[in-house]
Structure formats: C-alpha cells, structure tokens
Amino acid sequence: MRNAYEVKCEPILCSKCKGKGLCGMPCPILARLKAIHKTLSDEVYGNSPPEIFVGRIGYPYVYSGILSPNEIGETSIYSRPELWFKNNAGITDIIEYRTKLVYCRAKVNVKNSYWNRRIIESIQEISASYKPVAVEIKLKHKPKVKLSFDAVTPLTTNPAELQKLRIDENPKIKPKVEKLINDDVKASEAVIQLYNAKIEISSIYQVLSAGLLGVKLQRRLVPTRWSITATDDIISKFLLNKIKYYDTIDKFMVFHSDYLGNHYEFILLPSVFRFEVLEAKMPGSVWNPGKELFIMQDYEDVFGRKTYAENVTGAYYANRLAVAEYLTRIRRQAACLVLREVRPEYFAPCGVGILREASRDAFTRKPEVFETLEEALKTVASRLKLNINVFIKKSWLLKQIKQQKTLFEFVNKNH
C-alpha cells in the first residue's frame, strides 16, 4: 500500500497554471482580473507605488517597465510586502492590490543601455523614489487579461506595450540612495550600505534591479526575480560573516509564525552555523492538489552554499536573512532548521516578500527554550498538521547533529 505522505515529483503550481484551472477550482485571481479589466483603457494616469519590473525570459532582450494603477493618491500598499504584513492583509486583499496595477512595458536590451534608453531612464527614475510617483502613460493597446508570477516575485497582471511615458513630478529619493547611485562602489557593498541605513528590502532590490548600483561601467538592469534573491543573499552573507565568530547558544530555541497559510517553525540548535529549510506542500492545496505530500529541501554547512537553492528557491534566502538578523541581535551563532507547512489556505502565491516578513516576525517574539532537542521537537510537533517524523526523516541537519553527538559520546567514552 502506498504511503499517503510519499514525496511527489512535481505539483501543479499557480505559476504553471496561470488561470487554466489545472487545480480543478475556480481561479480567484483570474476572476478579479476580468472584473478590473473592464475599467481599463489604453491610457493610464496614476501614482506608481513606485514599482518596476524587469523580466528574465529571453535574457538579455527582456520586457521591462513600470507598474501603476489608474488612480491618484497613496498607492504604496499595492506594492510593498512590508505594508501587507504590517496591515495583516489577506490574500484577497493582496490580489485586489495587484490586479489594479497595469504593467506598462517595452522590450529592452539589458546589456545595451542605449537601446530603448528613454524607457530605461524612466524605469530608473521611478525605482529610486520612496514615495508614489505621478505618471502619464499612453499604451499601444488595452492591457491583456494575463497573469505573470512565480513563488519569488509578486503577482504581475495587465501587461501592455508602452507607447509614451511621462513622469509628472520629481521622484522623492532618500539621500543615502541618491549618494550610492552617484558613487562608484560594488553593488554588494551598496546593498549593505542601504540595509545599514534602514532602507526597506523592497526598495533596495528595486534600485538594484534598475541597474543603479555598482561600479558604473558595469551597471545594467537585473531581472526582478534575481535582484530579490540577490538582495537577501548579499545581506545574510554579510551578517553571517560576523555571526560565525560568535559563541554558540547553549540551549535549544524555537520560534514560530503564521501568515496566509504559511506556517513556520524555526529550531535553533547549539552548534556552529548550519542551515536547512524543509518546505511541505500539503495535499489539497493549490500548490499540491493531489493526495501525496510534496517536500522541498535545501541546506548549507558552515562553509555556505556554492550553488543556488533551486528547490526552495527565493524563500530559502529570505528565511536565512531573518535568522541571521536575529543571531546578529543576540550576538550568538547556532544551527537552524526551518520547517514550513504550505497549507490549503495559501491558495494564491504572493511573492517571497511575505515569507521574509513572516520569518522576521517569528523572531520578534520571546523564544521557547529547551534543554533537549527531543523537547523542542515535541513542542514543534504540537503546532504542525503533518506528523513531524516526515520532517525528521528528511532532515540533513538533524542527521548531522545526531552524528556529531554520537562522535562526541564516543570520544568521551574512550577518555
């Protein structure tokens, strides 16, 4: 008899379905998109949140452009995961925000800034602003009813070819951002300086995506998906380089959080830094409509990763950033096992930003502290819907800890 929790090869994801109904359920995103589409035309006059999007399909010739609703006012919440989490926005709220945005785009050559230069310059101006920017746009045709998203980037809808774009006000740029745009420093160094200046992650990856950071002769547009992951990766590595010199924690610590059907458990273990993420796509969800469990896994030892975390993808780096921020605050190092249950309530992808904020939120609470790993796992198990043994059997980190403990016991026994 087949195990009901046998790992599955590949689930049907929203990013593959795009409203085709592959999950067998009505698509709430497509329904909302069709409703809002009736109000759209080939002209847009509104305040970009601000938000830009640089595609990656066909690189270096990619679609790039700005996102803007056809309305004037404070539109920041349409774009920023930090605000979604702060305001406890639900999935339907986020869908409402995203479907109002028109993706006004044009083909550009990432490696040649003189090709469609005026579009690139407009993208760069808007990306640098920290407040909504008034824009007036003429499109070649009415926006299409089309979905574009994956697990990393927020939902992007209503694409249309740009004919004319005018920015109707001077973008509001923070002094530190403006300084680094004009400086000739490495992109990674610029990202760290912006982070230390308390610039939000969603703003940092936008200016990185717009090709405004780095050594000037090497600057170019960066696909948004890549810039999000790169930002989390650069910052967490910077923090980890300090953390690895700290003393280890002396007890087991557990943190947890829930947001939009994403349940997280973070287990910190007394050890040198090692890191693992196990994601369970629970049966019955849009991510896994079958009856078998689907688990993704990525990990690294104390020497770090040499390759991209292609299984967990962008969430891996967002989780690692939250852990690194906490360990930096307490000036300790630890190994960390991250368990994520993607529950049926998470019926539409909202991008990696909400996972970063949910992970950070877990570490704002007082930790649950335990003397033994068994006690910690027992508490974690009480909050999981799945049997925790599913994770224990899969975990690389727990196997490493067990082997380390066995070796330690062997050495002590022989001395």
Distance CA 376, CA 404 (A): 18
Classify residue 15: in a domain, yes or no. no
Which of 167, 192, 222 is the C-terminal boundary of a domain? 167
Least confident of 144-148, 346-350, 370-374: 144-148
Indicate if the pLDDT at residue 9 is higher than 80.
Answer: no
Please check whether residues 269 and 401 belong to one and the same domain. yes
Whether omega before 270 lies within 30 degrees of 0, making that bond cis, reads no
Classify residue 342: in a domain, yes or no. yes
Count CA atoms closer than 13 A to 412's CA, side-chain side: 6
Which of 193, 212, 237 is the C-terminal boundary of a domain? 237
The SS3 assignment for 215 reads coil
Sheet holding 159-167, edge to edge: 43-48, 133-139, 159-167, 102-109, 61-68, 52-54
Classify residue 17: in a domain, yes or no. no
Please check whether residues 162 and 183 belong to one and the same domain. no
Distance CA 160, CA 145 (A): 10
Read off the tokens for 146: 């089309």
Please check whether residues 187 and 280 belong to one and the same domain. no
Please check whether residues 100 and 226 belong to one and the same domain. no
Please check whether residues 187 and 142 belong to one and the same domain. no
Classify residue 21: in a domain, yes or no. no
Distance CA 334, CA 239 (A): 13
Please check whether residues 261 and 284 belong to one and the same domain. yes
- 276-287, pLDDT tens digit by residue? 999 998 776 666
How many domains, in total, are found in the chain? 3
pLDDT more than 70, % of the chain:
87
Under DSSP, the state recorded for 70 is: S
Range of the domain at 85: 26-167
Under DSSP, the state recorded for 409 is: H
Please check whether residues 111 and 257 belong to one and the same domain. no
Amino acid at the residue 378: K
Distance CA 382, CA 372 (A): 16
Please check whether residues 258 and 392 belong to one and the same domain. yes
Classify residue 81: in a domain, yes or no. yes
Classify residue 4: in a domain, yes or no. no
Classify residue 224: in a domain, yes or no. yes
Please check whether residues 227 and 290 belong to one and the same domain. no
The predicted model scores a pTM of 0.90
- Banded pLDDT at 5 (limits 50, 70, 90): very low
Average pLDDT over residues 312-317: 96
Classify residue 13: in a domain, yes or no. no
- 207-229, pLDDT tens digit by residue? 999 999 999 999 999 999 999 99
Distance CA 148, CA 98 (A): 11
Average pLDDT over residues 351-378: 97
Please check whether residues 233 and 88 belong to one and the same domain. no
- 149-160, pLDDT tens digit by residue? 667 788 888 999
- Show the 3-state SS of 312-336: CCHHHHHHHHHHHHHHHHHCCECEE
Which of 188, 210, 237 is the C-terminal boundary of a domain? 237
Distance CA 99, CA 81 (A): 15
Please check whether residues 66 and 112 belong to one and the same domain. yes
- Predicted local confidence at residue 144, as pLDDT: 83
Count CA atoms closer than 13 A to 148's CA, side-chain side: 21
Higher pLDDT, 30 or 94: 94
Please check whether residues 313 and 401 belong to one and the same domain. yes
- Predicted local confidence at residue 407, as pLDDT: 40
CA distances from 390 to 3, 4, 7, 280, 339 (A): 11, 11, 10, 9, 11
Higher pLDDT, 3 or 112: 112
Under DSSP, the state recorded for 372 is: S
160 close to 142: Cβ distance less than 8 angstroms: yes
Indicate if the pLDDT at residue 64 is higher than 90.
Answer: yes
100 close to 69: Cβ distance less than 8 angstroms: yes
